[in-house]
């Protein structure tokens, strides 16, 4: 037996010994604690042995669970919510972040009490576990120390920026942009930003709304007159595309993987997916839709007569002073663009080049720097991109997302981080992660980019948001 397996087994035996000294807890509660001990071991034989006995259906997913362990660091048991002989609900906290989760287990009534239901879902941090607010200085000190720890553990590689009321308070780079050449990340390193492009697309659309060239209540088929699915084109409005309530679905999946490098223009995506049916009645619910934002980019092209890429450069990047942001094809050399690194399971990282699209789109996939994101946020708040009324319309939450108090506006999430109200957007895919939080009441702006898997950057931005003073 390997040393790690032996130590993990000892830990499980010790746990059982301790429980034996007190009245035995109900079976579901005991299995919850045993699952957590096996998962927290990070040891494949230990976890596999537990699953074979109590949850055989999950044995095939053991590598995925180990990958989950490597990203979270495991979980601390924080609170027992419900406990019966066959049902247990508990609150857990990730060891590597501030994130809370609710774990629910149902077991068979008879020994060996196999697990019949297992759920673990991320939840907003419960008020009873609120993190005390710090002073600005103490938050910056704590953030710097946390980043050093995360970088040393290879949980973070990238750049982080914190600003307030027009002044940058903290700005540092960590890790490597190219591991083969040992090239360090720098403040001007460009990182792929995934879905953060949606903020730029939403600004483009609202500029055209402000100019009277687009009406939010219009169906998108008014502008895309040759769209194949006439039912979808006549029902789904521009506003519903902006709020992910149109039922237009996603484009990632087997078809995307098959045609990944053939999808070179926004119209190429339309041709591949335009015959699909609606996923649900438009306006009936929120369901994140990359294809919806792809369509918004095509609308921009039809209305302006420019390519989406030309329009966003001219009307967003240039007026905001964003000189390091774009969506050039992956085949073109971009000297400061970092290489993304992904870890599909515990072990060495590999680059993400075989997962990347031909180029970014209006739905996501471009690249930027933390300082350019800060410039974008500042330009937005100073009404360099939209007037005050349309800026307010852009960033004010409109629909529930199903993630606690979060709401979705037009290409922006509205969040409340323990009282710190912000708007912004994250982005993530294998080997890339980013997050921008703009907090107008407190004056803070947080921009974090990473060339590692999610939640490398969002973990850092949340750490800062959970501790900064509210005023």
- The CATH number for 388's domain is 3.40.710.10
Residues 177 and 313 in one domain: yes
Residues 389 and 337 in one domain: yes
Contact between 448 and 457 under an 8 Å Cβ cutoff? The reply is yes
Residues 196 and 60 in one domain: no
Query: Which residues in the chain land under pLDDT 70?
Result: 1-24, 345-347
The DSSP letter of residue 58 is G
**Inside any domain, residue 364:** yes
pLDDT at 5: 52
* The two three-digit tokens of residue 96, written as one number: 């590597």
Which residues span the domain enclosing 358? 136-465
Give the residue from 45, 47, 63 showing the smallest Cα distance to 55. 47
**Inside any domain, residue 470:** no
Mean predicted lDDT score pLDDT of the chain:
94
pLDDT at 19: 42
Residues 290 and 175 in one domain: yes
Residues 163 and 202 in one domain: yes
DSSP-based three-state secondary structure for 266 = helix
**Inside any domain, residue 431:** yes
pLDDT at 70: 86
pLDDT at 348: 82
Residues 369 and 394 in one domain: yes
pLDDT at 14: 45
Residues 112 and 247 in one domain: no
Residues 47 and 120 in one domain: yes
Domain count, the chain: 2
Cβ-based neighbour number of residue 215 at 10 Å: 14
Among residues 108, 129, 150, the one where a domain terminates is 129
Q: What share of the chain is helix, strand, coil (3-state, %, to 5)?
A: 40, 25, 40
Residues 257 and 315 in one domain: yes
Residues 110 and 196 in one domain: no
pLDDT at 340: 98
Among residues 74, 99, 129, the one where a domain terminates is 129
Peptide bond before residue 275 is cis, with ω within 30 degrees of 0: no
E-assigned strand segments in 124-166: 158-164
CATH of the domain at 58: 3.10.450.280
**Inside any domain, residue 471:** no
**Inside any domain, residue 425:** yes
Contact between 77 and 92 under an 8 Å Cβ cutoff? The reply is yes
Residues 149 and 91 in one domain: no
Rounded Cα distance between 184 and 415, Å, is 32
Rounded Cα distance between 399 and 443, Å, is 25
DSSP 435-455: EEEEETTTTEEEEEEESBSTT
* Residue 433 backbone phi and psi in degrees, to 5: -160, 140
Among residues 129, 145, 160, the one where a domain terminates is 129
pLDDT at 380: 98
Residues 157 and 101 in one domain: no
DSSP 77-116: EEEEEEE-SSEEEEEEEETTSS-EEEEEEEE-SSTT--EE
**Which of 52-81 are b and which e, b meaning 16 or more Cβ less than 10 Å from the residue's Cβ?**
eebbeebeeebeebbbebbbbebbeeeeee
């Amino acid at each position: 037996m390997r040393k790690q397996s032996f130590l993990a087994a000892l830990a499980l035996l010790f746990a059982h010994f301790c429980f034996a000294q007190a009245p035995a807890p109900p079976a579901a509660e005991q299995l919850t604690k045993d699952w957590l001990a096996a998962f927290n071991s990070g040891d494949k034989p230990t976890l596999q042995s537990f699953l074979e006995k109590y949850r055989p259906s999950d044995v095939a997913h053991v590598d995925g669970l180990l990958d989950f362990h490597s990203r979270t660091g495991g979980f601390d048991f924080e609170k027992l919510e419900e406990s019966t002989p066959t049902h247990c609900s508990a609150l857990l906290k990730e060891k590597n972040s501030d994130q809370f989760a609710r774990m629910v287990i149902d077991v068979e009534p008879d020994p060996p009490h196999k697990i019949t239901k297992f759920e673990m879902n991320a939840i907003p941090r419960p008020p009873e576990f609120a993190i005390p607010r710090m002073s600005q200085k103490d938050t910056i000190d704590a953030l710097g120390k946390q980043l050093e720890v995360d970088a040393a553990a290879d949980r973070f590689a990238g750049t982080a920026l914190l600003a307030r009321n027009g002044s940058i308070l903290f700005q540092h780079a960590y890790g490597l942009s190219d591991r083969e050449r040992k090239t360090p990340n720098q403040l001007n390193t460009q990182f792929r930003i995934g879905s953060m492009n949606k903020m730029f697309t939403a600004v483009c659309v609202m500029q055209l709304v402000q100019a009277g060239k687009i009406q939010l209540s219009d169906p998108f088929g008014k502008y895309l007159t040759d769209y194949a699915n006439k039912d979808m084109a006549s029902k789904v409005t521009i506003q519903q595309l902006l709020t992910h309530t149109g039922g237009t679905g996603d484009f990632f999946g087997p078809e995307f993987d098959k045609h990944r490098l053939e999808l070179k223009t926004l119209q190429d995506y339309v041709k591949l997916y335009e015959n699909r049916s609606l996923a649900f009645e438009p306006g009936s619910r929120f369901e994140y839709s990359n294809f919806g934002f792809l369509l918004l980019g095509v609308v921009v092209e039809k209305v302006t007569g420019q390519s989406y890429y030309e329009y966003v450069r001219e009307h967003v990047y240039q007026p905001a002073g964003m000189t390091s942001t774009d969506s050039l094809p992956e085949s073109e050399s971009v000297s400061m663009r970092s290489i993304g690194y992904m870890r599909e399971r515990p072990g060495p990282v590999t680059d993400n080049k075989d997962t990347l699209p031909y180029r970014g789109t209006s739905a996501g996939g471009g690249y930027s720097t933390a300082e350019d994101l800060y410039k974008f946020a500042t330009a937005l708040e100073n009404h360099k991109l939209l007037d005050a009324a349309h800026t307010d319309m852009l960033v004010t939450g409109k629909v529930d997302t199903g993630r606690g108090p979060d709401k979705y506006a037009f290409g922006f999430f509205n969040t409340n981080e323990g009282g710190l109200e912000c708007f912004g957007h994250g982005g993530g895919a294998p080997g890339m992660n980013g997050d921008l939080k703009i907090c107008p009441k407190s004056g803070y702006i947080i921009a974090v980019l990473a060339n590692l898997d999610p939640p490398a950057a969002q973990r850092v931005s949340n750490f800062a948001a959970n501790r900064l003073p509210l005023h």
